[in-house]
Structure 1
Amino acid sequence: MTAREYDLIVIGAGAVGENVADRVVQGGLSVLIVEDELVGGECSYWACMPSKALLRSAASLRAARAVDGARQAITGELDVAGVLRRRTKVTHDWDDASQVKWLGKAGIELLRGHAEFTGERELRVTGDDGSVTELTARHAVAVSTGSLPLLPDIPGLRDIEPWTSRDATSAREVPASLAILGGGVVGAEMATAYAGFGTEVTLIARSGLLTREEPFAGELVKESLEAMGATVLTGVDVTAAARDDHGATLTLSDGRTIVAEQVLVAVGRTPRTGDLGVEAIGLTPGEWLETDDTLRVNGFDWLYAVGDVNHRALLTHQGKYQARAAGDVIAARAKGTAVDDAPWGAHVATADHRHVPQVTFTDPEVASVGLTEAAARKAGYDIRVLDYDLSWVAGASTLSDDYRGTARAIVDEKRGVLVGATFVGQDVVELLHSATVAIVGEVPLDRLWHAVPSYPTLSEVWLRWLEAYGRPSAG
């Protein structure tokens, strides 16, 4: 057994943990990062990157078929084997050598193994070979272990060994039929991907599709999935599951049964804190680690939780944002600098409350930031809702012969600024950051009149929103 000491120890070498470590190293401190799987984490190998690779090829084919002159050139069908090859290339065939190399260049030490708390600022790491390393953090420990798929308590579900999101994004073969439980981002994206492969998809979404978005988002995605041949069932629960030689059978609350070769469960996430030994420091295993805006765990002066594990915003880009904030704060506090007095003192994680941007890579894409109409009204804002049919924007006609899409802006009437925006349609993802800047920066609508959108692009929707609103009066 060996013993080692560092200024900061980070548990979890995913995108979030890497960014915490990098920021603190840049602040002049020593950092060790502990990882029991692949350096690069969920996003690189089982989530963001492989899922988008699986979606892209069929989306490109559909886009070409929607344009006269291009559709005539298409003589074949989607090469599913080619899609899977490209996905595997994107994940580097689940090899993290390049990520490990980056850690070395960044000055971050890596220890492979499973970490458990043994006391305040103290950890024990057990390697795959049984080796044990005792670690002490001089200043802080940052937990960046992410989250795990939630498996609901449905009789027989565990016995049929359903897929989780990891299985769906790393599959080497495509099933003939797939039943998906859950109508959130993962469920909607994987329904889109597998329907594009020609798989017979049944999506079971009890409360509807993408219910955290504006209602029209789920409606347009549902219509698109059904046009691809998928079946979307809402208002029903799965009450039992079983498997035999014919596949998996799901019994629904209305008495119907669904038979599929494979079942994907995508109903939510749970914190990855169950096996970290957090009971040794007075916390409860399996619970989210709640933090303040500096990402310090409530009740501790040395423990930080960054990314999914704190349940603030379960998105990679938001986790990396938190990581930058946490890294700067840890470095400042280690040097005895008051966070508010440090040059980076204002950079604490406040943009993961109401200003969170998110993209769902369905077809059509759904891109949103800030509050929905319902959320804004619930929060007590005096709002005006601006809806615009994106097919009326000149740029849309250059993309597709039959463009369908909607854009909604939520205006805080009291301040004359946007507090929410949602775009649904082909290629809307690149509209999102302009909305994020406008909302986070609280840019007055009367100034947005001078941010002239290029013609003919989808960005012209900004002008159409302003025209619908009418020029705000001065003051």
Structure 2
Amino acid sequence: MIVDNWRDPVDAVVVGMGPGGEEVAGRLADAGLDVVGVDQRLLGGECPYYGCIPSKAMVRAADLLAEAWRVPGMAGTCMVEPSWAPVARHVREATADWSDKAAVDRFTARGGRFLRGRGRITGPGEVTVEDESGREIVIRPRRAIVLGTGSEPAVPPIPGLAGTPFWTNREAVAAEEVPRSLAVLGGGAVGLELAQVFARFGADVTVVEAAPRLLPAEEPEAGELLLRVLTEAGLTVHLGSLAAAVGHDGSAFTVDTDRGDRVTAERLLVATGRRVDVEGTGLAALGLGDASGLHAVPADDRMRVLPPLGSRPGVWAIGDAVGRGAFTHVAMAQADVAVRGILGEGGPPWSDRATPRVTFTEPEVGAVGLTEHQAVEQGLQVRTGTADLRSGARGRLHGPGGDGFVKVVADTAAGTLVGATAAGPAGAGGEMVSALTLAVHARVPVSDLARVTWAFPTFHRTIAEAVKMVL
């Protein structure tokens, strides 16, 4: 093993160049610091290559098919023949055929330097990078180490699964053709988005979810709505079913559940969450104790793992690695807090009180803050209001596919919303939740929200109906 010491001055090392890491490294470089960015995968992270961008291109294509199928009875006649080839081509274009050359050039043009390799902390103020040739490069930055190491698809230890050609989201977005049948393990956001996409392009799709409802982290009403819509569209859903064994005979998968069901499919998508490789960050080298039992990197609301001390650089962590929401917008917001801390600029700390999240199915589900169950668990005095989207003019005008609702969760003692969910067609869920996010973030009194004038006829007017119920 060849070990080299990085001899040029370095102010900061950013390990993990996903959206948050790239933001930190770029802004520090803009500020005149000598910055080294490190990543063993593609600069830009999961979002532009395997997550948000390519999957939403697929979702958009599938939504176009669904809209065309609704033309009869609403606007005339229409014949649609699904074709995956243009979708695969669009995904390749959106991801630059899974090349990060443009991203690397963009970062180095700002003055940063990029190392392709696996970076880890190997001592106080020390990062070691193992590059593609196996050479180890030791870097000792003067001001900051930032961990933005992201997360990986979590693959459960199901007997028979290891060694089979199963998909995660990474293989699914790179698919060159639609399988005849697809089994999906996991009824969360990723699993349902991709399940609906492939079903609309002709796959026979079965979803297996261990929890008693779909979208188990969200309001029960959201899971119930999607269960009805998906099953009406021909998908098969097994709830409360844990995959107990997986088999693959070279041409098809079998999934046996603990309830005695057997699912057979050409392809298997594992969408059972994500995991953070905390041990791989090298936290133990900082003297913080055994990291083997940690599921995330411990960081405070200033994103600090260790504050600067004397000649020792500080250590910050952002994004998926800190376990406070695996979303690009969370990583970017935390990146801003970390940059301000490194540069000594102060400003507000990170808060997850009003973090929005969107499941890009149809109906689309947007949510912010606490669910009703979470609010009750925290001991809040809770009142909820739920209004059906179809009760408003826009819902009735929308016709088929106009399903949805708005649910608000109010803390009656404070007189403000602490959470909300909006579900609706044509992107309505994610768009409606923006107004609700502002209300939760700014702690707008419910009495003020009740006096807001909402445009008619819009989906947003349903918010007013839900708010009236918690006054």
- Aligned partner of 1:147 in structure 2 is 151
Q: Distance in 2 between matches of 1:418 and 1:284?
A: 37
Matched, 1:59 2:63: yes
**Mapped contact 2:119–2:127 kept (Cα < 8 A):** yes
- Aligned partner of 2:422 in structure 1 is 423
Of the structure 1 ranges 297-306 and 141-150, higher mean CA displacement relative to structure 2 is found in: 297-306
Matched, 1:306 2:318: yes
**Mapped contact 1:67–1:399 kept (Cα < 8 A):** no
Shift of 1:11: 0.5
Specify whether residues 313 and 215 from structure 1 end up closer, same or farther in structure 2 by C-alpha distance, changes over 3 A only.
same
**Mapped contact 1:292–1:298 kept (Cα < 8 A):** no
Report the residue type matching 1:367 in the other structure: G
Alignment of 1:311-326 (within 5 A): 311-326=323-338
- Aligned partner of 2:253 in structure 1 is 248
**SS state at 2:464 partner:** helix
Alignment of 1:227-266 (within 5 A): 227-266=232-271
Identity %: 36
Q: Distance in 1 between matches of 2:380 and 2:292?
A: 38
Specify whether residues 97 and 161 from structure 1 end up closer, same or farther in structure 2 by C-alpha distance, changes over 3 A only.
same
Shift of 1:414: 1.6
- Aligned partner of 1:396 in structure 2 is 395
Alignment of 1:63-462 (within 5 A): 63-67=67-71, 72-207=76-211, 208-282=213-287, 284=291, 287=294, 288-297=296-305, 302-332=314-344, 342=345, 345-350=346-351, 352=352, 354-401=353-400, 403-426=402-425, 427-428=427-428, 429-462=430-463
Cα-to-partner distance string for 1:27-69 (whole Å, 9 max, x where unaligned): 4432211122211110010111111111111112213433557
Q: Distance in 2 between matches of 1:102 and 1:399?
A: 43
Cα-to-partner distance string for 1:213-234 (whole Å, 9 max, x where unaligned): 1101011111121122211001
Q: Distance in 2 between matches of 1:431 and 1:12?
A: 33
Specify whether residues 402 and 37 from structure 1 end up closer, same or farther in structure 2 by C-alpha distance, changes over 3 A only.
closer
**Mapped contact 2:184–2:206 kept (Cα < 8 A):** yes
**Mapped contact 1:155–1:241 kept (Cα < 8 A):** yes
Cα-to-partner distance string for 1:387-433 (whole Å, 9 max, x where unaligned): 10111222223433452111101122122211111011112211111
**Mapped contact 1:393–1:460 kept (Cα < 8 A):** yes
- Aligned partner of 1:335 in structure 2 is none
Q: Distance in 1 between matches of 2:286 and 2:197?
A: 43
Q: Distance in 2 between matches of 1:399 and 1:23?
A: 44
Cα-to-partner distance string for 1:306-326 (whole Å, 9 max, x where unaligned): 111111222111111111111
The count of residues paired between Structure 1 and Structure 2 equals 457
**SS state at 2:300 partner:** coil
- Aligned partner of 2:52 in structure 1 is 48
**Mapped contact 1:113–1:127 kept (Cα < 8 A):** yes
CA RMSD after TM alignment: 2.1
Q: Distance in 1 between matches of 2:137 and 2:250?
A: 47
Specify whether residues 275 and 95 from structure 1 end up closer, same or farther in structure 2 by C-alpha distance, changes over 3 A only.
same
**Mapped contact 1:118–1:124 kept (Cα < 8 A):** yes
**SS state at 1:171 partner:** coil
Specify whether residues 286 and 94 from structure 1 end up closer, same or farther in structure 2 by C-alpha distance, changes over 3 A only.
farther
Question: What TM-score does the superposition give when structure 2 sets the normalisation length?
Answer: 0.91
**Mapped contact 1:5–1:135 kept (Cα < 8 A):** no
**Mapped contact 1:383–1:410 kept (Cα < 8 A):** yes
- Aligned partner of 1:337 in structure 2 is none
Residue of structure 2 aligned with 1:14, choices 1, 14, 18: 18
**Mapped contact 1:271–1:286 kept (Cα < 8 A):** no
Shift of 1:72: 3.4
Cα-to-partner distance string for 1:111-166 (whole Å, 9 max, x where unaligned): 22222333212122232244443211101111111011111121111032321121
Cα-to-partner distance string for 1:149-201 (whole Å, 9 max, x where unaligned): 11112111103232112111222222211111111111111111111121111
Greater than 6 Å deviation, 4+ residue runs: none
**Mapped contact 1:57–1:83 kept (Cα < 8 A):** yes
Q: Distance in 2 between matches of 1:299 and 1:347?
A: 17
Cα-to-partner distance string for 1:71-110 (whole Å, 9 max, x where unaligned): 6342122221111111222112111122123213433222
**SS state at 2:303 partner:** coil
Q: Distance in 1 between matches of 2:298 and 2:308?
A: 11
Gapped regions of structure 1 (runs ≥ 5): 333-341, 471-475
- Aligned partner of 1:338 in structure 2 is none
